[in-house]
Structure 1
Amino acid sequence: MEPDTTYSLVRAWAGAGGLVLMVALFIGVLFYALRPGNKKKFDRLARLPLEDGDGPDDKTGDRTEAGK
């Protein structure tokens, strides 16, 4: 077997294996994200930026302002 042929064969198998791996990973992430058991968790996380909390302009926290 010539080196060019060996390289081409390894490259083809690596490309196909990488494609199969990425497709399997994509399907796994899709399954995790769309599973009904995660709906409550994702809904809570989606509302998180809109809830009142200890943001930079929140005066109710125990932060002290510099200079006062």
Structure 2
Amino acid sequence: MSYDILAHYIKIGGTVFFTGFFTLAIIYALWPKNKSRFDNAAQLPLEGDDRPKV
């Protein structure tokens, strides 16, 4: 097995791995059960007082 063939298989494996990881991340973000969690996280910057406590 030459370096070129091995590099080709590693490139294909990496592409499949990262495509699968990206797909799982999108599914997780769009899963209906997680909607309330993400809505709460989106409101965090707007809540509370950002002034330092003296």
* Alignment TM-score, normalising by the size of structure 1: 0.72
- 1:49 Cα deviation from its structure 2 partner: 0.4
| Matched position secondary structure for 1:21 | helix
> Paired residue for 1:38?
34
1:18 matched to 2:10: no
**RMSD value over aligned CA atoms?**
1.5
- Gapped regions of structure 1 (runs ≥ 5): none
Q: Please report the TM-score for the alignment, with normalisation by the length of structure 2.
A: 0.89
Question: Following the alignment from structure 1 to structure 2, what is the Cα–Cα distance between the partners of residues 14 and 52?
Answer: 49
Matches within 5 A, 1:1-68: 6-53=2-49, 55=50, 57=51, 63=53, 65=54
CA offset at residue 52 of structure 1?
1.3
> 1 or 2 for the larger relative contact order (CA 8 Å, sep ≥6)?
2
Q: How many residues are treated as equivalent by the alignment?
A: 54
Q: How many percent identity over aligned positions?
A: 35
